[in-house]
Amino acid sequence: MIAAALLAAGASRRLGTPKQLLQVNGRSFVRHAAECARDAELRVAVVVGHAASAVVDSLGGLEVETLENPRWNEGIASSVRVAVSWAESSKFEALLILVSDQPYLQATHLERLCACYRERECLVASAYAGTLGVPALFPARYYACLASLQGDRGAASLLRNASDVASVEWPLGVFDVDTKALAAAFWPGVATV
């Protein structure tokens, strides 16, 4: 079984407010991403840390698990480790890692990543802006590498250096939310909780 882990534990220091709680059309970014993963028929866990109770509240009614990351302030790698621990203990064959600050995400893209994995049984990443990034799907053989990540670095180095990585084009993946100006420019109705 393929499972999805949505990383939503950070404080979004550059933005100045938790980006996972930004809302467009009355729906938080984290809820949007979780709904996409559920619509792709994946088992979903959301890794929470900073503003955990508000993030959990924004997911109300969704069939997702929440995983507490007590070390969220160490950086994104700590959330990846929490997600991998869940995937290992649940014996998932592969783990799809996604983030909540890509508001153009759609279930169809996640389905394409999963289909590519099923066909090739290799690491599968999203391709945009000349790079490979998240959402990305990691077979279980990569769990140990993911669990060794440290600091505020995600799995980008694994994606760049893997010999068996496939890519699925997703040009809209380049749009993520890092600053209020960017959020306002692309999502005029953006609001904080």
Give the domain range for residue 83. 2-186
Q: Is the pLDDT of residue 192 over 70?
A: no
Residue-wise pLDDT tens digits, 77-86:
999 999 999 9
pLDDT score of 152: 82
Tell me, yes or no, whether 19 lies in a domain. Answer: yes
The CATH number for 106's domain is 3.90.550.10
Tell me, yes or no, whether 43 lies in a domain. Answer: yes
Overall pTM > 0.95: no
- Mean of the pLDDT values across residues 117-140? 96
Kindly list the strands in the beta sheet with 131-139, ordered across the sheet, starting from the edge strand earlier in the chain: 65-68, 43-48, 2-8, 94-99, 131-139, 123-128, 165-169
Pairwise CA distance, residues 98 & 37, whole Å = 9
Tell me, yes or no, whether 113 lies in a domain. Answer: yes
Residue-wise pLDDT tens digits, 10-66:
887 766 678 889 887 788 999 999 999 999 999 999 999 999 999 999 999 999 999
Looking at the 3D structure of the chain, how many domains does it have?
1
Q: What is the DSSP string of 119-175?
A: HH-SEEEEEETTEEEEEEEEEGGGHHHHHT--TT--SHHHHHH-SSEEEEE-GGGG-
Tell me, yes or no, whether 192 lies in a domain. Answer: no
